[in-house]
């Protein structure tokens, strides 16, 4: 059974801190600013051998005029609907507010198991600060401190008991040993990353507005269609350092960098109107440095192509010239909003994943590459020492790495290294996969 627990409450009661406490790592951004969490954030936890999913939600606000607040509220209702247990978080230091009572009314109408969690009981004195929480109408409440972890063990014990005895709803079982790839959608702010995930899922799973930087956390979504099963990761947009204005945006950028590190394939989205800019190049090189597979998605192509004379071929040629020698990267032209071209993304992502695990036989590698080195040897150094490459192997690593054995590896220039990479890419299928090349003394 794959159980889901959602954490709900008004802004700034410590939901993200409590979420991080349960999942065991700093996945959600925690900040003194109210309303930092906007989308639903998913994490996995385990207690007494039972695994379950945890969902952090945005703060429940009752503002009627703010478009963003309405979207956040919509996300919370989706989280409530898909949950087995709801943890309703309140703040013992503030006490009960009208918004807490409003949330309690909404939750009581849901056919869900609800546990009232009184947070910020950081020491024994806090325990007697406010005892009016029974007015919210829930049978039992739990005192916890998300900061230091006190009281969370008792709460988790109760959750496990609920999972074992009260939940009979059958859910799709994901096999424990089954590998599920992570495809991270990355790029500048407002290029359509969240829109793409919504189009994949055919619903407003993530908040989408015209406000740049709406997504602040990296958000995981399990997705399955046909034979493809994966985790799609929506990320905040990456700005230039000079344009990062506040701490929250800084943390969001760090989240994107971490997401790249844990991804199997990165989907780099580019706005067709703005074109391939320096920041796109920086993100591309970041993926390459982390040795991750990559696909470039040119979004809003349906609108761009109607109003411009640039052809798809010219656009593609320009990008490949910029990213050389790692230029055999799949480039897919799409419209995330209108679902144009998006059916090509996952098949290609799986292909790139397959290429990243490809291993060449040593005899075949040498048969192809040694004649190339003989015909085009490295340039002799200043002492007129002729450089030869006598043998090459692919290392048994998780990403493609090659070692070329030479008599004078220290004199081989960077330009020749690019030449070797280009030849490997020309003769072997490593589409969308960074290659590492090393020269060693024979």
Q: What is the pLDDT of residues 255-276, one digit of tens each?
A: 567 678 888 999 999 998 888 9
- What does the pLDDT look like over 91-114, one tens digit per residue? 888 888 888 888 888 888 887 888
| Judgement on whether residues 91 and 53 belong to the same structural domain of the protein | yes
Sorting pLDDT into bands at 50, 70 and 90, what band is 246?
A: very low
Give yes or no for a contact between 58 and 34, defined as CB atoms under 8 angstroms apart: no
End of a domain among 324, 356, 388? 356
Strand ranges, E, within 188-256: 219-225, 228-234
Euclidean distance between CA atoms 73 and 63, whole angstroms = 10
Instruction: Indicate which CATH number applies to the domain containing 79.
Output: 3.40.50.300
Sorting pLDDT into bands at 50, 70 and 90, what band is 62?
A: low
Residue keyed to tokens 């490593």 = 430
Q: Which domain holds residue 400?
A: 362-441
| Judgement on whether residues 372 and 350 belong to the same structural domain of the protein | no
Q: Which residues of 187-218 are buried (b: 16+ CB within 10 A; e: fewer)?
A: bbbbbbbbbbbbbbeeeebbbbeeeebbbbbb
End of a domain among 135, 165, 195? 165
Q: Is residue 171 part of a domain?
A: no
Find residue 86's DSSP bridge partners. Answer: 6, 114
Domains in the chain, number = 3
- What does the pLDDT look like over 135-189, one tens digit per residue? 787 877 889 988 888 889 999 999 988 887 765 444 444 444 567 898 988 888 8
Instruction: Answer with the residue of higher pLDDT: 98 or 391.
Output: 391
| Judgement on whether residues 207 and 156 belong to the same structural domain of the protein | no
| Judgement on whether residues 58 and 131 belong to the same structural domain of the protein | yes
Task: Look at residue 235 and give its three-state secondary structure.
Answer: coil
């Amino acid at each position: 059974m794959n159980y889901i627990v959602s954490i709900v409450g008004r802004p700034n009661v410590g939901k993200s801190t409590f979420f991080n406490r349960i999942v065991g790592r700093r996945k959600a951004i925690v900040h003194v600013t109210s309303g930092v969490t906007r989308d639903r954030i998913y994490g996995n936890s385990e207690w007494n051998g039972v695994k379950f999913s945890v969902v952090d939600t945005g703060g429940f606000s009752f503002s009627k005029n703010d478009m963003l607040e309405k979207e956040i509220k919509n996300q919370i209702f989706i989280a409530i609907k898909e949950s087995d247990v709801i943890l309703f978080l309140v703040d013992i230091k503030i006490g009960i507010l009208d918004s807490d009572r409003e949330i309690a009314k909404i939750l009581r109408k849901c056919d869900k198991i609800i546990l009232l969690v009184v947070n910020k009981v950081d020491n024994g004195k806090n325990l007697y600060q406010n005892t009016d929480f029974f007015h919210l109408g829930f049978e039992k409440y739990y005192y916890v401190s998300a900061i230091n972890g006190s009281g969370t063990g008792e709460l988790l014990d109760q959750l496990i008991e609920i999972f074992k005895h009260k939940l009979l709803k059958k859910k799709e079982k994901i096999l424990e040993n089954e590998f599920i790839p992570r495809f991270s959608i990355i790029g500048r702010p407002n290029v359509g990353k969240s829109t793409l995930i919504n189009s994949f899922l055919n619903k407003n799973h993530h908040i989408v507005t015209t406000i740049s930087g709406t997504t602040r956390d990296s958000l995981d979504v399990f997705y399955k269609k046909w034979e493809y099963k994966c985790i799609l990761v929506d990320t905040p947009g990456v700005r230039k350092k000079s344009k990062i204005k506040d701490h929250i945006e800084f943390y969001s950028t760090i989240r994107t960098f971490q997401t790249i590190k844990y991804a199997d394939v990165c989907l780099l989205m580019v706005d067709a109107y703005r074109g391939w800019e320096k920041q796109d190049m920086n993100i591309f090189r970041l993926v390459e440095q982390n040795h991750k597979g990559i696909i470039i998605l040119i979004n809003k192509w349906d609108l761009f192509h109607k109003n411009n004379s640039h052809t798809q071929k010219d656009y593609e040629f320009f990008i490949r010239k910029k990213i050389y020698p790692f230029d055999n990267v799949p480039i897919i032209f799409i419209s995330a909003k209108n679902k144009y071209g998006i059916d090509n993304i996952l098949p290609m992502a799986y292909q790139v994943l397959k290429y990243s695990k490809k291993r060449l036989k040593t005899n075949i590698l040498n048969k192809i590459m040694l004649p190339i080195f003989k015909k085009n040897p490295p340039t002799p150094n200043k002492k007129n020492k002729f450089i030869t490459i006598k043998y090459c192997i692919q290392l048994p690593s998780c990403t493609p790495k090659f070692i070329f054995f030479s008599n004078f590896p220290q004199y081989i220039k960077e330009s020749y290294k690019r030449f070797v990479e280009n030849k490997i890419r020309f003769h072997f299928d490593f589409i969308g996969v960074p290659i590492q090349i090393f020269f060693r003394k024979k």
